[in-house]
């Protein structure tokens, strides 16, 4: 089997049964993780699947001590403002719903949308009004960007498209990588200081100044007060998933519960002084928002795909150096070659600055439109080297297809069986959590979810069936209900950390983790007895058999004639933030297709056949209402993201 296939197959994550890992096992898992996921990014660079768009890179971005200053644009000055920020077609300024909303506003809007779907009643006048905004987004960044940063943004649209953010100016305290417009070469004069009582900061650039003093309201115990009934609005989270900038630059920002359920500090009277010219076009400062905690994102720069020949030119094909490259694929092969060096021939790796300077110089001669593609691909290559050496956490990106649709077949775990279920399948310190899947569900239940979907991307093209329950890990910094995958089956080769440990410890001869060709010995074979189809004519059909594990799934469900159209409960979707496999968790980031998805929910009929032996005896045989995902899902994740923080214990 070719090395590229080895790495790709290893990217599939399958179940990690409940266990307490020892320090030795933790170290081995870390070594395996670093070799596999770091190696996969190096492999993507060598085979050029990064620049072809097949495996688009993703990067982490964290923002602490964040503040958002919101001004409303004066409708009379929209054209002048657009001209000032050099906004040109196809972009046009867009009015949007308020940036935040209360739970009462959410419930009222949901009630009104069902009672008056056409929006013709008297009550629509009580809905929030749209407005044009300018936002100063300020905070301390870490991850793929570093240091204090100030961004000025507004909302735009293309034709009749939904609104999205447009960044018209950006300033960084520390020059370097920028996840929207390549890099910032020069530092800006930024001060940003936060403590328990508030934030003070300033920005100076080309004679213009922004000064901010945000005092927080304190309680009698000296703690900052929190506004607990207000969060970012669904409209804002949806509109901020895509961020554009001048020249057509675009990045996608994947968020988690730190954005969806963030709370804001109560603020006294904020004092803001702003002399930037665009202040002439705004009416007043309408809101200052200070989130109470760090916000975490995964960012995917959107770049032009390169047409890569098959087979792709590898580093060994670079015989005349980057200056001899005649097209972008051959140039990238040479850039990878000099970035990695060749220890066998005692050729050292080039300094990264030299690699990027060479890329800018030669790509500008061959095809300047591909410079962003090459830039972020090289960043991903160095990210892979850091992962490989254990200095950075791995990242992956994959998509759940819209056809066939993703389904959840949920089974209730009766309360009298919950204790036995927990003892059999969960780590000792985990708690079983009840869940409500959608607002109309009458009560929360202990549940086992069979999730069936087709995925594409960095965890391969395959059908997957995952059996999950819902848990609370009290050792988390902020314990909440989470997914816990107990079993998984896939039509492509899989990688199971527990089986990998068993194979590693019992292998004869021993497995050399530093040798990529040895890693195939840790792979779980695919399940060839797994078929899934979903359509409006034949309905839902699942056939899955694994005799060795005594798993049988036989599902035939007619397409429903009556169903409920609804949205998922926020708590259920936030359970995706940590997806546990035993004690080890993938850390996920997602977009509005996950958090604000459209669901179709219906009861299975007496004529439908639903047989699942996997957890027979622990769950009610008749499932809860079937849940169908009506859209796709894009997900960025850190596989085994909590492994480093697990407190391993020596086993007796």
Query: pLDDT by residue (tens digit) across 175-216?
Result: 999 999 999 889 999 999 999 999 999 999 989 999 999 999
Q: What is the pLDDT of residues 236-248, one digit of tens each?
A: 999 999 999 988 8
CATH class of the domain defined by 396-645: mainly beta
Q: What is the pLDDT of residues 437-480, one digit of tens each?
A: 999 999 999 999 999 999 988 756 789 999 999 999 999 988 99
| Cα–Cα distance for residue pair 234/260, rounded to 1 Å | 8
pLDDT at 116: 67
pLDDT at 1 over 80: no
Query: For the CA atoms of the chain, what is the radius of gyration?
Result: 26
Q: What is the pLDDT of residues 218-275, one digit of tens each?
A: 999 999 999 988 999 999 999 999 999 988 899 999 999 999 999 999 999 999 999 9
Q: Of the given ranges (103-107, 525-529, 626-630), which has the lowest mean pLDDT?
A: 103-107
Residue 496 pLDDT grade (very low, low, confident, very high; cuts 50, 70, 90): low
Give the DSSP per-residue string, 170-219. EEESS-EE-SSSSEE-S--EEEEEEETTEEEEEEEETTEEEEEEEEBPB-
Pairing of strands 264-265, 396-400: unpaired
Using DSSP's 3-state secondary structure scheme, residue 231 falls into strand
Q: What is the pLDDT of residues 274-306, one digit of tens each?
A: 999 999 999 889 999 999 999 999 999 999 999
**Element at 484 (helix H, strand E):** strand 481-490
Burial (CB < 10 A; 0-12, 13-18, 19+), residue 486, is: buried
Cα distances (angstroms) measured from residue 3 to each of 216, 459, 517, 639, 644: 56, 16, 7, 21, 27
Q: What is the pLDDT averaged over residues 36-52?
A: 93
The neighbour count for residue 106, using CB atoms within 10 Å, is: 14
pLDDT at 513: 77
Q: What is the pLDDT of residues 59-83, one digit of tens each?
A: 999 999 999 999 999 999 999 999 9
Q: What is the pLDDT averaged over residues 356-377?
A: 98
pLDDT at 120: 66
pLDDT at 123: 67
For residues 58-95, b (16+ Cβ closer than 10 Å) or e, as one string? bbbbbbebbbbbbbebeeebbeebbeebebeeebebbe
- 556 and 539 Cβ atoms separated by less than 8 Å: yes
**Closest of 154, 166, 188, 176 to residue 246, by C-alpha:** 166
| Cα–Cα distance for residue pair 574/571, rounded to 1 Å | 5
pLDDT at 88: 93
**Closest of 480, 497, 476 to residue 488, by C-alpha:** 497
Q: Provide the CA 625 distance to its chain's centre, in angstroms.
A: 28
pLDDT at 127: 72
Structure tokens that stand for 581 in this block: 């496999």
**pTM for this structure?**
0.91
For residue 228, which phi and psi values (nearest 5 degrees)?
Answer: -85, -10
pLDDT at 34 over 50: yes
pLDDT at 549 over 60: yes
pLDDT at 108: 66
Pairing of strands 481-490, 578-581: parallel
pLDDT at 648: 77
pLDDT at 14 over 50: no
Pairing of strands 626-629, 599-602: antiparallel
pLDDT at 497 over 70: no
pLDDT at 117 over 90: no
Q: What is the pLDDT averaged over residues 8-27?
A: 56
The neighbour count for residue 50, using CB atoms within 10 Å, is: 29
Q: What is the CATH architecture of 59-302?
A: Beta Barrel (2.40)
Q: Of the given ranges (143-157, 471-485, 636-650), which has the lowest mean pLDDT?
A: 636-650
For residue 112, which phi and psi values (nearest 5 degrees)?
Answer: -70, -35
Give the E-state strand segments of 17-146 in sequence order: 59-73, 91-93, 100-102, 133-143
- 530 and 57 Cβ atoms separated by less than 8 Å: no
Residues of the chain with CATH 2.40.400: 59-302, 396-645
Structure tokens that stand for 294 in this block: 């760090």
% of the chain residues with pLDDT over 70: 92
Residue that wins the pLDDT comparison between 22 and 155 = 155
First to last CA, the chain: 40
| Cα–Cα distance for residue pair 470/578, rounded to 1 Å | 11
Residue 347 pLDDT grade (very low, low, confident, very high; cuts 50, 70, 90): confident
């Amino acid at each position: 089997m070719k090395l590229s296939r080895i790495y790709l197959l290893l990217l599939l994550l399958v179940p990690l049964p409940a266990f307490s890992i020892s320090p030795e096992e933790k170290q081995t898992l870390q070594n395996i993780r670093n070799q596999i996921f770091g190696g996969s990014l190096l492999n993507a660079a060598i085979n050029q699947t990064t620049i072809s768009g097949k495996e688009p890179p993703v990067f982490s971005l964290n923002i602490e001590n964040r503040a958002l200053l919101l001004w409303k644009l004066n409708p009379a000055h929209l054209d002048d403002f657009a001209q000032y920020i050099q906004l040109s077609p196809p972009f046009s300024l867009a009015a949007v719903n308020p940036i935040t909303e209360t739970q009462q506003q959410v419930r009222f809007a949901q009630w009104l949308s069902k009672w008056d779907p056409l929006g013709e009643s008297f009550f629509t006048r009580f809905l929030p009004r749209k407005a044009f905004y300018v936002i100063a987004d300020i905070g301390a960044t870490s991850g793929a960007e570093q240091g204090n940063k100030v961004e000025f943004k507004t909302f735009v649209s293309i034709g009749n498209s939904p609104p999205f953010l447009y960044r018209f100016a950006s300033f960084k305290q520390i020059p370097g990588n920028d996840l929207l417009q390549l890099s910032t070469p020069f530092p800006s004069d930024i001060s940003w200081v936060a403590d328990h009582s508030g934030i003070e900061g300033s920005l100076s650039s080309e004679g213009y100044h922004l000064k901010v003093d945000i005092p927080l309201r304190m309680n009698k115990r000296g703690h900052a007060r929190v506004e607990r009934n207000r969060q970012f609005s669904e409209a804002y989270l949806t509109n901020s998933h895509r961020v554009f900038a001048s020249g057509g630059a675009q990045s996608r920002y994947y968020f988690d519960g730190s954005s969806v359920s963030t709370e804001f500090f109560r603020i006294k009277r904020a004092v803001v002084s702003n002399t930037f010219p665009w202040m002439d076009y705004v009416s007043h400062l309408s809101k200052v928002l200070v989130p109470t905690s760090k916000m975490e994102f995964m960012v995917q720069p959107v770049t032009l795909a390169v047409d890569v020949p098959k087979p792709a030119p590898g580093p060994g094909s670079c015989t005349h150096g980057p200056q001899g490259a005649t097209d972008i694929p051959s140039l990238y092969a040479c850039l990878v070659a000099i970035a990695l060096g060749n220890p066998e021939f005692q050729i050292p790796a080039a300094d990264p600055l030299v690699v990027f300077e060479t890329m800018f110089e030669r790509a500008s001669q061959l095809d300047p439109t591909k410079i962003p593609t090459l830039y972020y691909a090289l960043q991903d290559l160095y990210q892979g080297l850091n992962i490989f050496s254990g200095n950075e956490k791995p990242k992956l990106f994959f998509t759940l297809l819209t056809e066939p649709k993703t389904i959840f077949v949920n089974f209730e775990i009766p309360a009298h069986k919950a204790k036995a279920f927990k003892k059999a399948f969960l780590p000792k310190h985990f708690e079983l959590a009840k869940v409500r899947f959608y607002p109309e569900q009458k009560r929360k239940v202990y549940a086992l979810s069979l999730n069936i979907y087709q995925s594409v991307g960095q965890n391969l093209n395959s059908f997957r069936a995952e059996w999950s329950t819902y848990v609370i890990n009290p050792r988390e910094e902020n314990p909440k209900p989470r997914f816990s995958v107990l079993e998984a089956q896939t039509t492509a080769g899989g990688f199971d950390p527990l089986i990998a440990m068993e194979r590693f410890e019992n292998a004869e001869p021993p497995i050399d983790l530093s040798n990529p060709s040895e890693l195939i010995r840790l792979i779980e074979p695919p399940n060839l007895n797994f078929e899934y189809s979903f359509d409006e004519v034949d309905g839902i059909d699942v056939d899955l058999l694994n005799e060795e594990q005594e798993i049988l799934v036989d599902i035939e469900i007619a397409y429903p004639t009556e169903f409920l159209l609804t949205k998922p409960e926020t708590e259920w979707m936030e359970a995706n933030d940590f997806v546990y496999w035993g004690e080890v968790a993938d850390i996920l980031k997602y977009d509005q297709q996950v958090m604000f998805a459209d669901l179709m929910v219906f009861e299975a009929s007496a004529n439908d056949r639903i047989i699942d032996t996997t957890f027979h005896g622990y769950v009610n045989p008749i499932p809860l209402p079937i849940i169908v995902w009506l859209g796709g899902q894009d997900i960025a994740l850190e596989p085994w993201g909590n492994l480093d923080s697990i407190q391993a214990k020596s086993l007796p």
